[in-house]
Amino acid sequence: MDKPFTDYEVTPFFKYETVEDVEASRRERRPVVKTIELCELRIAGEKNYRPIVPADSIWQVQAGQPITYAERFGAEYRQFKTGATQSGSGTPLQELAPYGISQSQISLCRALQVYSIEAVHSLEGASLKALGVVGNELKRMASLWMADQARGGEAADQMAAMKRQIEELKAKLATQAVVESAVADVAFEATEAAESAFAHMSDDELRAFVKERSGGVLRGNHSRETLLRMAEEA
């Protein structure tokens, strides 16, 4: 059975091949050749098994829509058509260097058509045994790498959550600052309004007003500023 889209065990390699065009040769009564696009499927752990299919042949039919091998491996097919190096999918094995993989082990993996960390991690059974005595060690390295990537993803999510919280706090503080500023403005305006309400009064009138409101005797000589304040508070 063919592999699903997400299976890193399959590494495609697209290439051109010149073949005889049988129908055209029959019509022309001479050999006629044509160039076709092929997709070579390199299966991880299968050293001698490389099925080759036409790039435009149907891989699967999904929801009534035919999917060709060129579409299935769209990224690699685009590399092929543009003349770029066909790198395949997944993370290069060199990224396992911090985990202890050696150049000879990388070479062994390539010989067995294993080109990515994800491919190593997905190997099971006979495919894993094909790596020989280093198979389990390589899979352990790949598992550690995958776990670290998962933790890195969690850390990134936590950082994103913290950034959101900081932005929300900034928004709240900004709102609070606006409210406090508005309150201060209202208080200032109220003070000015109160001052303007008594500004037309003379000092004697202010003394009389304060005495009347306080119900007591106003002793001593007070400055106009003090009288205005006492009038506001009365």
Q: Read off the pLDDT of residues 82-98 as tens digits, 9 standing for 90 and up.
A: 888 776 778 889 999 99
* Structural contact between residues 11 and 44, judged by C-beta atoms closer than 8 angstroms: yes
**Per-residue model confidence (pLDDT) at position 75:** 85
pLDDT value at position 157? 64
CA distance 113 to 91: 14
- Determine the average pLDDT of the residues in 122-133: 85
Write down the pLDDT at residue 200: 75
* Distance separating alpha carbons of residues 152 and 146, to the nearest angstrom: 10
d(CA 15, CA 29): 29
Q: What is the pLDDT of residue 2?
A: 46
pLDDT at 4: 46
The CA distance from 3 to 181, in Å, is: 65
Q: ∠86-92-96 over CA atoms, to 5°?
A: 170
Q: Give which of 58, 92, 87, 93 is closest to 75, Cα–Cα.
A: 87
In Å, how far are 79, 138, 141, 160 from 97, measured between CA atoms? 27, 11, 9, 29
- Residue-level pLDDT at 154: 65
Structure-token pair, residue 54: 């036409």
Cα–Cα distances in Å, from 65 out to 57, 60, 200, 229? 13, 8, 89, 86
With a cut of 90, say whether residue 214 has pLDDT above it: no
As a whole number, mean pLDDT of residues 95-111 equals 91
Average pLDDT of span 174-194: 73
Q: What is the pLDDT of residues 143-170, one digit of tens each?
A: 999 898 888 766 556 666 777 888 888 8
